[in-house]
Structure 1
Amino acid sequence: MASSGDDGMDALYDHFKEKKYKGGFNEDNWEEEFEKIPMFMKKPPEELDPLKHPELACIQSMLYDEDQSPEELAKTYKNEGNHYFKEKNYKKAIISYTEGLKRKCNDCELNVILHTNRAAAQFYLGNNRSALNDVIAARKLKPNHLKAIIRVLNQRQRQCNAAWNQCLFLTIGVLCHIELKNYSQAVAWCDEGLQFEPKEKQLIELRAKADKQKRVEERNLRKAKLKEKKERVQAEALLKAVKERKIKVFQPQELTGQNSDDDDDDKEDSRVLRTLFDGINSENGNVVHLDENGNLSWPVLFLYPEYEQMDFISAFHEDSRFIDHLSVMFGENLPPWDTEKKYKPNNLELYFEGEQGEDLFQVDPMCTLRQILSHDRYFVKAGNPRIIILVRGSSFSKDFLSGKKLQAI
């Protein structure tokens, strides 16, 4: 029997000796083959397919076995999150830390670390509000955590993981407050830490940065308030000048609303100013303004319906006459669109429309802008006084005026 057994082994040996094994490792593929073995993997696959990676699926089922205690599962998710964090895959790290927190384990220290680590991952993704919420949650779980942090910093143990987690708690909290422009809170957090360790360099630097930005913000706020006050005073003076001249401002229906009679004077004044400052040329700063001598200058439109053209005068002084501007605009150099050269100062007629555009009122070119704006039938529309200019006696002028109701002023 022994001889028979030996013969069998010899036959098996001879069989493998003749048949070359093709699945073995060699110097060209051993690293690639090792990477397929879960124990030696440097990086897990992005998506775990149980059919392609049955060994990994088996290991995962053991790691995340729901029969484990909440503390064990939370720790497993924490370690997984730390792995993703190290790989700078912060989104997956957040998912892992969140799963750990969902276990609701009774280990307060572990929950603090999960919140702190998730805060770090959120911070690196730019989610400052979420990061700050996690830091605050960690602080609520362990109110004396800040003191422990300072103790760690004081002992200069930044290399160990525990120190790193605790340093994150304070640093990320302060940095999030800075990013969210909560400079006062950032300074307060630093001050609280400096009570325990007055010479801590990291806290001193962060506090200096937050305090500097806080001062800049306060200075800008003071400037903004002064500017707002100045603009309010100017607006009140402008409104007073408009009222004194009895200038009427046309307000669109969307501004006045349905119950304008019930509005108080402040709302009425606000609507008037909004109409004056929201004109078609207001984006370039071309709005009515009051000079140091108490005189108004207006952005005025001259409309030429015959050629569908217009001229814009950005600052028409209220005491200037229309003829003075026309003499300059239609002097020696006529506009290129006036091919017939018929737009001459003494050959022009000026009109303005009534409130609803149904009437036309002829304007004497010798009148000043103030005289026209103060007329009881004139309304300033969209912040820009408008004057229609026609050539006296032209065929277009006759056709244009034929459908209008002319009024004398």
Structure 2
Amino acid sequence: MAASSSIPGPQPVSKAALEAKLAEFDNIPLFMKSLPTDDTEDVALAALQSLAHDGTPDEVAGNFKEQGNEYFKGKRYREALGFYTQGVDAKPDDPVLHEALLCNRAACNLELKNFGSVLRDCSKALTLNPKSSKAFYRSASALVALDRVEEALDCCDRCLAFDVENKGVLQLRERAVKVKAEKDRREREKAERLRKEQEAQRRLDIAFRERNLISLPKADGSSNPYAPHFDPEDPTGSTLIIPVFFLYPQHATSDVIPEFVEDTPFALHLQAMFPPQAPAPEWDRKGEYVDGQLVVYAMTHRKRLLKVGKKMSLRDVCKAAKAKEGEKRDGLEVKDGCVTFVVVPKGEVEAKWVEEFKKTREA
């Protein structure tokens, strides 16, 4: 019976080791992606450098162009870009060759999404040849990518004026037309939204003035999701809905009524929030907040204190907040989209709070 072989098979190589091995190839002249521009003591490298730059500017540029083409075919656009750049830097005398290098470099930058570089090279190419279809095509492609579709269409039309049947340009123009149509649609919708928002704000401003509501600038970082608006269920479109804060000062807490219809009496909200049969809120340990035992106060912009009657609606309070004849404008403040009212138990708590408010106003 033959002895079993112990010869090991191929061993796996780590990713780091593999990358190190591949990097070594960059130092072997035959496998170099591009030649170093600095002087070198390596005889083989020095010979390759000399060979690459040996000849007339057109010959040198042509060699770099061919090398760039090979890398471009392999979709190695960055390496191709380097060779085309060296070709341009060789300053060829042949305008056709110079134009080709610029257009080819633009093609690389188009793939790499360097659209500004595409436009610069194509502009130079068109200076050399005003009828460069490739330069027009690549310019238009970059402009479409930058959403500058009107300019892209202009490029296509200029090209088609002398190259009528250029399929690539025709297809690109068709695409640009579709992009422009979509862009125009978005802009129309945006303009219509803006118009409606401005109209809604104008109507709201008028409604505020009619109701003696004074809107304060929003605080930085304010994220209140509520905002005054007209009641969509009102066919006349004249009833205002305003978010309202109820503050309970002795407990440093509050409630928000996000949609307080201006014609609704305050009593209805108090009945719903503090019914006598329901358990008291957690923060009301003394059980003081019960409908029938509460009073509501409004504070105007000029620090007047208005006591809100049970049957009064928000619209009624707005009317009561109006300044007297000959006095400066006054009204209820709308801060961060809300109007604030204070709710306190009748009696001692109410008297204490009113006294503290008057001291604050006088300070």
TM-score band (shorter)? 0.7 to 0.9
- Post-superposition offset of 1:405: 0.9
In structure 1, what is the equivalent of residue 84 of structure 2?
A: 97
- Post-superposition offset of 1:60: 1.7
Q: Say if 1:197 and 1:46 are closer, same or farther in 2 by CA, change over 3 A.
A: closer
In structure 2, what is the equivalent of residue 85 of structure 1?
A: 72
In structure 2, what is the equivalent of residue 338 of structure 1?
A: 284
- TM-score under structure 2 length normalisation: 0.72
Note if contact 1:279-1:287 (Cα within 8 Å) is conserved in structure 2.
Answer: no
Q: Say if 1:192 and 1:336 are closer, same or farther in 2 by CA, change over 3 A.
A: same
In structure 2, what is the equivalent of residue 380 of structure 1?
A: 334
In structure 2, what is the equivalent of residue 363 of structure 1?
A: 308
Structure 2 residues without counterparts, runs of 5 or longer: 1-21, 322-329
Structure with the larger helix share: 1
**In the alignment, which of 233, 237, 240 is matched to residue 293 of structure 1?**
237
In structure 2, what is the equivalent of residue 59 of structure 1?
A: 48
Q: Which AA in structure 2 matches 1:204? A: L
In structure 2, what is the equivalent of residue 254 of structure 1?
A: none
**In the alignment, which of 126, 136, 139 is matched to residue 173 of structure 1?**
139
Confirm or deny that 1:190 pairs with 2:156.
yes
Confirm or deny that 1:239 pairs with 2:210.
no
| Residue aligned with 1:144, SS | coil
- Post-superposition offset of 1:113: 1.8
- Post-superposition offset of 1:404: 2.5
In structure 1, what is the equivalent of residue 19 of structure 2?
A: none
Confirm or deny that 1:392 pairs with 2:337.
no
Q: Say if 1:394 and 1:87 are closer, same or farther in 2 by CA, change over 3 A.
A: farther
In structure 2, what is the equivalent of residue 349 of structure 1?
A: 295
Measured against aligned partners, the alpha-carbon deviations of 1:225-260 in whole angstroms (never above 9, x if no partner) come to 222222222222221222222322234xxxxxxxxx
In structure 2, what is the equivalent of residue 403 of structure 1?
A: 356
Q: Which AA in structure 2 matches 1:370? A: R
| Residue aligned with 1:118, SS | helix
- Post-superposition offset of 1:143: 0.3
**In the alignment, which of 171, 181, 197 is matched to residue 205 of structure 1?**
171
Measured in 2, the distance between the counterparts of 1:353 and 1:89 equals 72
Measured against aligned partners, the alpha-carbon deviations of 1:134-172 in whole angstroms (never above 9, x if no partner) come to 2233223210223xxxxxxxxxxxxxxxxxxx4xx3443
| Residue aligned with 1:126, SS | coil
Note if contact 1:132-1:176 (Cα within 8 Å) is conserved in structure 2.
Answer: yes
- Post-superposition offset of 1:117: 1.6
Measured in 2, the distance between the counterparts of 1:37 and 1:290 equals 75
Measured against aligned partners, the alpha-carbon deviations of 1:61-101 in whole angstroms (never above 9, x if no partner) come to 44247xx6544454454445445534544344434434443
Note if contact 2:26-2:33 (Cα within 8 Å) is conserved in structure 1.
Answer: no
Measured in 1, the distance between the counterparts of 2:267 and 2:340 equals 15
Measured in 1, the distance between the counterparts of 2:73 and 2:216 equals 66
In structure 1, what is the equivalent of residue 248 of structure 2?
A: 304
Note if contact 1:359-1:405 (Cα within 8 Å) is conserved in structure 2.
Answer: no
Measured in 2, the distance between the counterparts of 1:391 and 1:36 equals 85
Measured in 1, the distance between the counterparts of 2:318 and 2:59 equals 83
- TM-score under structure 1 length normalisation: 0.65
RMSD: 3.7
In structure 2, what is the equivalent of residue 248 of structure 1?
A: 214
How many pairs align?
321
Q: Say if 1:359 and 1:132 are closer, same or farther in 2 by CA, change over 3 A.
A: same
**In terms of mean alpha carbon deviation, does 89-98 or 296-305 score higher?**
89-98
Identity of aligned residues (%): 29
